[in-house]
Structure 1
Amino acid sequence: MKRTFKVLFFVRKPKNYSDGTVPIYLRLTVDGERVEWHTQRECDPERWNAQAGRMIGTKQDAKSVNAWLEQLHVQVFDTQRHLAHMGKEPTALAIRNKIQGKGDEKVHTLIEVFEYHNEQFAQLVGKDFAPGTLKKFKTALAALQNFITWKFSVRDVAITQVNHQFITDYEFYLKSIHGVQHNTAMGMIKKLKKIIRQCVANDWLAKDPFLSYKIKTRETHRAFLLEKDLELLANKHFPTDRLNLVKDLFLFSCFTGLSYSDVAELSSTDIAIGIDREMWIHTRRTKTDTNSRIPLLPTALSIIEKYKDHPKVQAEGRLFPCISNQRMNSYLKEISDCLGLQKELTFHCARHTFATTVTLTNGVPIETVSKMLGHRSLRTTQQYAKILDVKVSNDMQVLKDRFAIKAGTKSAI
């Protein structure tokens, strides 16, 4: 059945009006049935374009009001489609009631749903998720709240207002106003996508707005140390105990591939005899909660031996006397300057060094490296795997030698 459907925005002057702003109303007409409601916005009648149904001007107040009206316009049509999808009659009254939260069905709002997700997520930290992941969701929620306030001058919006335009505007805000890099912005949008998918699964949204939006991350150049850098660092003795401790913990990660949080949690019970009768680390990764089995190389073993009698190690039952990750990275910058390294050192750089310089460059298969790193997917390991020129040279030398042998055989014939 074909329906007549019309949306009109207009201003209404109260009785005895003299000057000042007046309320903006939305009039919805479906098959002759007409309903009106206040949009919660006001405008000076002199700045209202009745034909366009929008506020005149390019100032921020006009942009904010017009953006809000545009979202309401989209919300009306999204609500109409949602009601039809749910098998309900999309009358003018039903659409207005759903938008305003009247009747049996509750109108779910984006920030409300996001906050509920984070509350549930927090209860699973330490069981299914790491604290760092919750922190990222909280950061994404704060950015989303700021965006909504910036764009619509309100704290929250109905989830039916989230469409392709909303997402692209959010991406623009994150990069231009919030000032984050492309991959960071994509990470925040991924978290919004998770919330929206839950809304679609609960039939709160008739259509997934992410169907026409692709999240694309850019390849990053991850810093890692070359073999000569490792030797330079290992042979360097610093005048302060704090820098020598940071150096040792960083080197330990370079030769085990463990992250800062994993190193900080290590205890003597995590060291066991492996299948080869040598010493191994048997632990579970803090971030992914996956098993990680790592044979201890001589450098890593010597660092463990160095700190076994440290008072803090004895008192806390840890393998090392760790400091905070923030201080660790601050001291690593100091170490980098002392060594004259032309790269920014962070503790995570050690994990890349293990994957690249220590293992893959020395012929360890990527599947083995992935298992030691505790990755769930080989694709994750491939992001760490930078094939160095020296490995390319060595591999090609084998090929050159084969061609040389063939050429010599032909000459002899």
Structure 2
Amino acid sequence: MNTANTFLNKRLEEIERQKVQNSNSYHLHRKWVKIKNKDNTVTIYARITYQNKQTEISTGVRCLPNNFVREPQLEIKGDETQTKILRAFDSKLNQVYADFKVSQKKFTIQDIRNSVIGIEIKNKVPLILGALELFQKHLMVEIEHQNYSNYTLRKHRMWYKRLIEFTTLQYGKKGQLDEITPYAMTSFLSWLKTTRNYQNNSAQYLAGHLSRFMNFCVSHRWIPSNPFLSYKKKFEAKEVKYLTEEEITLLEQAKLHSTGLERVRDTFLFMYELSMNHADILAHSKDNLIKAESGIWYIIKQRTKTAIPQTIPLSERAKGLMSKYENDTICIEKNQFVPVPTNQIMNRYLKQIGDITAIKTLLSTKLARTSKITNGYENGENEERLQMMAGHRKGSPITHNNYINHSPKVLIKRMEKLPKNA
């Protein structure tokens, strides 16, 4: 038994040692050695060890044996020039090693040696399509590690597909990274808007993604600089669609001819009261309900997309909807307050509800969130409070720019609701 345990322990140690040897987690070990010359002087060498391999590099510094001092810092006694050369060498060695570690590429002790003594290292530069594949793999690992939503995952996969399409069309399957010039951004935006029918703002997000890809290539030393470094995204201001409080009441009081339509309407109203989008309402649970010392009930939940918490006080309408579905089989099974169909089903049913209620604005799940935030703003609600309810960071311009309608009607009503000394 002891023999078996000893064998297993040795095997585990061997596996762990192999893992370390196959990674860049090794530290660079440096030892200063003195090699004797015929004239009784010594030449100072740096003996470096990395991944169990060793080499020596001459610093070019010669001195008497006793004049070389290692601590507290490198010094050649009585020779300031030789001291500066030795320290400069040590600094360069540290910088070379740090650069290799930052590049996140595999490297050998020979690569370190060559770089220190000035021998150019041949860096295999991938083709555009190969670099895009590596960039996508890097993003997928990052997305998985940070637990982004499925929406983000689908979006990045689509962006990758578009970049592959454009670069193949523009440069062919064997296109080189250095063929990409600053003018490519104009061609890319034009292609997105004409061939792929992208709206300007969606195209701008993709343009930013292309620039991030070039930064990725720079970090791997495949290209010297990002050709799109000076490019600035230009977004167009879009009118935020929303439902007025009167339209929300009309929606609530509408008599619908099927249970399916009624359940979708109620879920939409619950989304409205909680300022949530479909992904967040789909992920909500009864565990998110918290009672404050004041006796007010809150739903506090991290947003699916950003992990920023939303803090929403429960309105009477929200409480009524919760009571309506407290014995619903689906809600009990999923530990939710209201039944939440898929986004596609909700949007399809909401369109029918819009026809029944004669609401002119096209109903969709996205409308619930913008309607609640705009109506809160219109009624004089404090913007910081709105941001807490929306799950936006304090002071973020997103709330003001993307979720609030700034029509004269909204602004006038907000002005009249605000106290005169505010």
> Which TM-score band (shorter chain)?
0.5 to 0.7
Q: Give the corresponding residue for 1:289.
A: 307
Structure 1 counterpart of 2:148, one-letter code:
F
1:362 equivalent in alignment to 2:347:
no
The DSSP-based 3-state class of the residue aligned with 2:340 is coil
1:148 equivalent in alignment to 2:167:
yes
**Per-residue deviation, residues 39-61 of structure 1 (Å, max 9, x unmatched):** xxxxxxxxxxxxxxxxxxxxxxx
The DSSP-based 3-state class of the residue aligned with 1:210 is coil
1:348 equivalent in alignment to 2:366:
yes
Structure 2 counterpart of 1:181, one-letter code:
Q
Which of 371, 385, 388 is residue 388 of structure 2 equivalent to?
A: 371
Q: Is the 8 A contact 2:256 2:262 kept in 1?
A: yes
Q: Is the 8 A contact 2:379 2:414 kept in 1?
A: no
Question: Quick one: distance in 2 between partners of 1:216 and 1:328?
Answer: 33
1:110 equivalent in alignment to 2:110:
no
| Cα distance change on mapping 1:213 and 1:334 into 2, 3 Å | same
| Cα distance change on mapping 1:299 and 1:290 into 2, 3 Å | same
Superposition deviation, residue 156 in structure 1: 5.4
Q: How many residues align?
A: 298
Which of 157, 178, 183 is residue 138 of structure 1 equivalent to?
A: 157
| Cα distance change on mapping 1:337 and 1:155 into 2, 3 Å | farther
5 Å-filtered alignment, 1:4-403, equals 104-123=122-141, 124-125=143-144, 127-152=146-171, 154-155=172-173, 157-357=175-375, 359-376=376-393, 378-383=396-401, 384-394=403-413
Question: Quick one: distance in 2 between partners of 1:276 and 1:146?
Answer: 57
Percent of residue pairs identical: 25
The DSSP-based 3-state class of the residue aligned with 1:328 is helix
| Cα distance change on mapping 1:277 and 1:362 into 2, 3 Å | same
Q: Give the corresponding residue for 1:25.
A: none
Unaligned runs of 5+ in 1: 1-102, 403-413
Unaligned runs of 5+ in 2: 1-120
Question: Quick one: distance in 1 between partners of 2:159 and 2:240?
Answer: 24
- Detail structure 1 runs of 4+ shifted over 4 Å in the superposition: 394-402
Structure 2 counterpart of 1:372, one-letter code:
M
Q: Is the 8 A contact 1:313 1:320 kept in 2?
A: yes
Question: Quick one: distance in 2 between partners of 1:135 and 1:181?
Answer: 18
Taking structure 2 as the reference length, the TM-score comes to 0.66
Superposition deviation, residue 196 in structure 1: 1.4
| Cα distance change on mapping 1:370 and 1:156 into 2, 3 Å | farther
Question: Quick one: distance in 2 between partners of 1:294 and 1:169?
Answer: 45
| Cα distance change on mapping 1:396 and 1:346 into 2, 3 Å | closer
Structure 2 counterpart of 1:325, one-letter code:
N
| Cα distance change on mapping 1:118 and 1:399 into 2, 3 Å | closer
| Cα distance change on mapping 1:390 and 1:309 into 2, 3 Å | same
Q: Give the corresponding residue for 2:55.
A: none
Superposition deviation, residue 401 in structure 1: 9.1
Structure 2 counterpart of 1:188, one-letter code:
L
Q: Is the 8 A contact 1:145 1:156 kept in 2?
A: no
Question: Quick one: distance in 2 between partners of 1:316 and 1:252?
Answer: 16
| Cα distance change on mapping 1:387 and 1:212 into 2, 3 Å | closer
Q: Give the corresponding residue for 1:50.
A: none
Superposition deviation, residue 186 in structure 1: 1.0
Question: Quick one: distance in 2 between partners of 1:398 and 1:344?
Answer: 28
Q: What CA RMSD, in Å, does the superposition of the two structures yield over aligned residues?
A: 2.3
Q: Is the 8 A contact 2:241 2:405 kept in 1?
A: no
